[in-house]
Amino acid sequence: MNKFSQFLHSSLGNKLLMSFTGLFLILFLVVHLIGNLQLLIPDQGEAFNAYVRIMEKNILIKVVAYALYIAILLHTYKGIDITLRNRKARGGQRYAVKAVSGTTWASRNMALLGSLIFIFIGVHMSNFWYKFKFGHHEGTEFYTMVDTSFSELWIVVFYALAQIVLAYHLLHGFQSAFQTLGLRDGNYTRLFKGIGAGIAVGLPLLFAIIPILMYFDIHPMPDFRVFPGQ
Amino acid sequence: MANILNGKVPPGSISDKWVQYKSTMNLVAPNNKRNIEVIVVGTGLAGASAAASLGELGYKVKCFTFHDSPRRAHSIAAQGGINAAKNYRNDGDSVHRLFYDTIKGGDYRSREANVHRLAEVSVNIIDQAVAQGVPFAREYGGLLDNRSFGGVQVSRTFYARGQTGQQLLIGAYQALSRQISLGSVEMYNRHEMLDLVIVDGKARGIIARNLINGKLERFAAHAVVVATGGYGNVFYLSTNAMNSNVTAAWKTVKRGALMANPSFTQIHPTCIPVSGDYQSKLTLMSESLRNDGRVWVPKKLEDAKAIREGRKKANDIAEEDRDYFLERRYPAFGNLVPRDVASRAAKTECDKGHGVSPTGLAVFMDFASAIHRYGKSKAHNQGMHNPDEATIVKLGEEVIAEKYGNLFDIYNKITGDNPYKTPMKIYPAVHYTMGGVWVDYNLETNIPGLFVIGEANFSDHGANRLGASALMQGLADGYFVLPYTIGQFLANDIRTPKIDPNQPAFDAAEENVRKQIEHFLSVKGSQSVESFHRRLGRIIWDYCGMSRSEEGLKKARKMLRELREEFYRDVYVPGSNNEYNPELEKAIRVADFFELGEVMIVDALHRNESCGGHFREEYQTEEGEALRNDADYAFVAAWEYKGWDQDPVLHVEPLHFEAVELKTRSYK
Amino acid sequence: MKLTLKIWRQGGEFGKGKFETYQMNNANEHMSFLEMLDVLNDQLISEKKTPVAFEHDCREGICGTCSMVINGQPHGPLKGTTTCQLHMRHFKDGDTIVIEPFRAQAFPVIRDLVVDRSAFDRIIQAGGYISVSTGQAQDANAIPIEKDVAARAFDAAACIGCGACVAACPNASAMLFTSAKVTHLAMLPQGQVESHKRVKAMVAQMDEEGFGMCSNYGACEAECPKEISVSNIALLNREYLNANLSRTDF
Ligand SMILES: Cc1cc2nc3c(=O)[nH]c(=O)nc-3n(C[C@H](O)[C@H](O)[C@H](O)COP(=O)(O)OP(=O)(O)OC[C@H]3O[C@@H](n4cnc5c(N)ncnc54)[C@H](O)[C@@H]3O)c2cc1C
Ligand code: HEM
Ligand code: SF4
Ligand code: FES
Q: Does A175 touch chain C (CB under 8 A)?
A: yes
Ligand nearest to the CA of B73: 1
C106 plus C229 within the same structural domain: no
| pLDDT confidence of residue B2 | 65
C89 plus C63 within the same structural domain: yes
CB distance C11 to B580 below 8 Å = yes
How far away is chain C from the Cα of B275, in angstroms, using its nearest Cα?
A: 8
Calculate the alpha carbon distances from A78 to A13, A20, A28, A67, A226 in Å: 11, 12, 19, 16, 33
In angstroms, the CA C238 to CA B173 distance is 26
Q: For the sheet containing B450-452, what is the strand order?
A: B185-188, B60-64, B37-41, B223-226, B450-452
Angle between helices A153-180 and A188-215 (to 10 degrees): 170
CATH 1.20.1300.10 fits domain A3-215 = yes
C78 plus C122 within the same structural domain: no
Q: What is the mean pLDDT of residues B353-365?
A: 94
Which chain C residue has its CA at the smallest distance from B179's CA?
A: C125
Residues of B whose CB is below 8 A from C61 = 410, 413
| pLDDT confidence of residue C247 | 67
Largest interatomic CA distance in chain B: 82
C63 plus C130 within the same structural domain: no
Residues of C whose CB is below 8 A from B278 = 28, 31, 35, 38-39
Mean pLDDT over the full length of chain B:
95
CB distance B668 to B331 below 8 Å = yes
Q: What is the mean pLDDT of residues C82-93?
A: 96
Report the nearest-CA residue for atom 13 of ligand 2.
A19
Interface test with C, best of B177, B190, B531, B583 (most C CBs within 10 A): B177
Name the residue facing A89 among C105, C221, C235 (closest C-beta): C105
CB contact under 8 A, A182 and C213: no
Q: Where are the alpha helices (DSSP H) in chain A?
A: 3-9, 11-37, 46-57, 59-89, 105-108, 110-124, 130, 142-149, 153-180, 188-215
Q: Which of C2, C217, C9 is nearest to C110 (CA)?
A: C9
CB contact under 8 A, A6 and C235: no
Name the residue facing B161 among C28, C120, C154 (closest C-beta): C154
CB distance C123 to C177 below 8 Å = yes
Question: How much is the CA Rg of chain A, to the nearest whole Å?
Answer: 20
Interface of C with B in 26-45 (CB under 8 A): 28, 30-32, 34-35, 38-39, 41-42, 45
Interface test with C, best of A2, A97, A183, A189 (most C CBs within 10 A): A97
Q: Which of B97, B209, B339, B564 is catalytic?
A: B339
- Domain holding C211: CATH number? 1.10.1060.10
CB contact under 8 A, B528 and C42: yes
CB contact under 8 A, C203 and A10: yes
H/E/C letters for each residue in B238-292? CCCCCCCCCHHHHHHHHCCCEEECCCCEEEEEEECCCCCCCCCCCCECCHHHHHC
Q: Which domains does chain B have, with CATH numbers?
A: 269-430 (3.90.700.10), 503-633 (1.20.58.100)
Each domain of chain A, given as residue ranges in start order, spans: 3-215
Give the burial class of B443: count Cβ atoms within 10 A of its Cβ; 0-12 exposed, 13-18 middle, 19 or more buried.
buried
Q: Which of C216, C208, C222 is nearest to C73 (CA)?
A: C222
In angstroms, the CA B148 to CA B154 distance is 6
CB distance C56 to C65 below 8 Å = yes
To the query of whether residue B209 is one of the catalytic residues in this protein, the response is no
End-to-end Cα, chain C, rounded Å: 63
C38 plus C87 within the same structural domain: yes
Show which of C74, C96, C111 is a domain's final residue. C111
Residues of B whose CB is below 8 A from C38 = 278, 280, 530
pLDDT at A131 over 80: no
Query: Distance of alpha carbon B323 from its chain centroid, rounded?
Result: 31
Please list, in sequence order, all residues whose beta carbon lies within 8 angstroms of the beta carbon of residue B558, skipping any fewer than 6 positions away. none
Q: Which atom of ligand 3 is nearest to the CA of C164?
A: 3
| pLDDT confidence of residue C246 | 83
Mean pLDDT over the full length of chain A:
91
Percentage of chain B lying above the pLDDT 70 cut: 100
Q: Does A1 touch chain C (CB under 8 A)?
A: no
Name the residue facing B69 among C120, C135, C150 (closest C-beta): C120
Per residue in B479-510, pLDDT tens? 999 999 999 999 999 999 999 999 999 999 99
Query: Distance of alpha carbon A56 from its chain centroid, rounded?
Result: 20
pLDDT at A136 over 80: no
C245 plus C167 within the same structural domain: yes
CB contact under 8 A, B74 and C58: yes
Q: What is the mean pLDDT of residues A81-103?
A: 93
pLDDT at B103 over 90: yes
| pLDDT confidence of residue B440 | 98
Name the residue facing B135 among C111, C126, C150 (closest C-beta): C150
**pTM, entire model:** 0.96
| pLDDT confidence of residue C74 | 97
For the stretch B114-128, what's the b/e string if a residue is b when 16 or more beta carbons lie within 10 angstroms of its beta carbon? bbbbbbbbbbbbbbb
Q: How many residues are recorded in chain B?
A: 668
Neighbours of A220 (CB within 10 A): 9
Show which of C79, C111, C143 is a domain's final residue. C111
Q: Does A53 touch chain C (CB under 8 A)?
A: no
End-to-end Cα, chain B, rounded Å: 36
| pLDDT confidence of residue A135 | 61
The parent domain of residue C29 ranges over 3-111
Neighbours of C181 (CB within 10 A): 28
Q: What is the mean pLDDT of residues B447-470?
A: 96
Show which of C93, C111, C129 is a domain's final residue. C111
Pairing verdict, β B185-188 and B60-64: parallel
Sign for the pseudo-dihedral over CA of B304, B308, B310, B313: positive
Interface test with A, best of C199, C216, C231 (most A CBs within 10 A): C216
Please list, in sequence order, all residues whose beta carbon lies within 8 angstroms of the beta carbon of residue B665, skipping any fewer than 6 positions away. B104, B107, B108, B626, B628
- Domain holding C7: CATH number? 3.10.20.30
Q: Which of B468, B501, B519, B393 is nearest to B158 (CA)?
A: B468
DSSP code per residue over B60-111: EEEEE-SSSSGGGSGGGG--S-EE----TT-SS--HHHHHHHHHHHTTT-S-
Per residue in B27-55, pLDDT tens? 999 999 999 999 999 999 999 999 999 99
Per residue in B523-558, pLDDT tens? 999 999 999 999 999 999 999 999 999 999 999 999
C122 plus C107 within the same structural domain: no
pLDDT at A151 over 50: yes
Give the burial class of A85: count Cβ atoms within 10 A of its Cβ; 0-12 exposed, 13-18 middle, 19 or more buried.
middle
CB contact under 8 A, B181 and C120: no
Split into its structural domains, chain C has a count of 2
| pLDDT confidence of residue B665 | 80
pLDDT at C250 over 60: no
Beta bridge partners of C70: C73, C99
| pLDDT confidence of residue A1 | 53
C84 plus C164 within the same structural domain: no
Pairing verdict, β B223-226 and B450-452: parallel
Q: Which of C58, C235, C88, C238 is nearest to C161 (CA)?
A: C58
